[in-house]
Homo-oligomer: A and B are copies of this chain.
Amino acid sequence: MDNDVVRQAPLFSALDDEAATALRGSMSETRLRRGEVLFHEGDSGDRLYIVLDGKVKLGRTSSDGRENLLAILGPGQMFGELSLFDPGPRSATVTAVTDTSFASLSHEDLLRWLDGRPTVARGLLAQIAGRLRKANDVNADLVFSDVPGRVAKALLDLADRFGRTADDGVHVHHDLTQEELAQLVGASRETVNKALADFASRGWLRLEPRSVVIMEVDRLQRRAR
């Protein structure tokens, strides 16, 4: 298993070598191919996962069948914590957006682990608190921003986490269809498409299949706020 990526997870960044080795022992590895589902909303389960490689989407389905995405997670990010500490069924469906591999840890192992290591426990708290803060931000955006603004913000967030800067701009291979991007910002596919087309026509970015090249980051930033 890729020890480095586990260490890179904010949660475990403070581990010394001994601890990292011990941790690796109790973790197991899983792989999924694009489109496969790790678990469904409503399933029971109490494993914590860390993305080693690839990308996943966390999604929910409303009673009438429409979907929305809570987050896109990449290497080093974890999920599944909700069912750990707020006992209950899984609150979202996790689907691989690209071929993906995970490390996972059972609730039990994690708790045993946490006991002697207050630093890690604090890290976990920080992680979840950060997520909560972000969820609150998304709420505010849904109320205050229009669709183009939310699209701009989503692109900048993806660029931050998955972007590679080149001389012609920031290349962001988000691996999402426009449909998925629309679900992420809470809008229809058509409206998102039009927003993207508008940005492209202004020369702020270039559209490529499942990726974009952002050429004018500051313009997008201004549009996002």
A14 at the interface (CB under 8 A from B): no
Main secondary structure of the interface of A (DSSP, over half): helix
B142 & A63 in contact (Cβ 8 Å cutoff): no
* Given contacts A118-B115, A143-B186, A132 and B130 within 8 Å (CB-CB): no
Cβ-defined partner of A131 (8 Å) among B66, B111, B132, B143:
B132
Say how far A62's CB is from chain B's closest CB, in angstroms: 4
Could you tell me the distance between the alpha carbons of A68 and B121 in the complex, rounded to whole angstroms?
A: 32
A174 at the interface (CB under 8 A from B): no
Could you tell me the distance between the alpha carbons of A87 and B129 in the complex, rounded to whole angstroms?
A: 9
Query: Interface residues of A, CB < 8 Å — how many?
Result: 40
A139 & B70 in contact (Cβ 8 Å cutoff): yes
Interface 0/1 of A106-150, CB less than 8 Å to B? 000001001100100110111011111101101110111000000
20 more CB-based (< 8 A) A-B contacts, given A85-B128, A87-B126: A60-B136, A60-B140, A62-B143, A64-B144, A66-B144, A68-B139, A70-B136, A82-B129, A82-B132, A86-B132, A92-B136, A111-B122, A115-B118, A121-B125, A125-B125, A128-B132, A138-B139, A139-B139, A139-B186, A142-B143
